Amino acid sequence: MTNRVLLVEDEPLIAMMLEDFLDVLDRQCAGTADCVEAAIPLVEAGGFDCAILDVNLRGGEKSWPIAAALAERHVPFVFATGGADDMIADEFRGRPILQKPFTLDGVEKALDALG
């Protein structure tokens, strides 16, 4: 089971809501980051089972470098987006998607699907 979850989300209120969801689901937030620069050291440090990556981060930044680092380490992750699948970079198409707005049920299903 994916108990320790890395969150990459640039909206503080949404990140807090996701942390609350994880708590309700008896899972642990293993760290949060709001940009690629903050997330990469967390990925390199490890200590988590999976990740939820917001596709669109602050200032138009995309989470692709984080996704690539996770994939390289064989760490499962789900993309969080309010947009359509066509927003996902070609190399990551087929990865699980968690649609915004988030629901407790949606987050639980997404994490359960990761293993």
CA dihedral of 32, 56, 114, 92, whole degrees rounded to 10: -130
Of 11-25, 61-75, 87-101, the least confident = 87-101
Show the tokens assigned to 11: 């909206």
The structural architecture, per CATH, of the domain 4-113 is 3-Layer(aba) Sandwich (3.40)
The mean of the pLDDT values for the chain is 94
Q: Where are the domains of the chain?
A: 4-113
Structure tokens at 40: 């990469």
**What global pTM score does this model have?**
0.95
- Give the model confidence (pLDDT) of 26-62 as tens digits: 999 999 999 999 999 999 999 999 999 999 998 889 9
CB 29 within 8 A of CB 5: yes
- pLDDT category at 63 given cuts 50, 70, 90 is very high
Cβ-contact 61, 81 below 8 angstroms: no
CA 66/CA 8 separation, integer angstroms: 9
The tally of CA atoms less than 13 A away on the side-chain side of residue 69 is 18
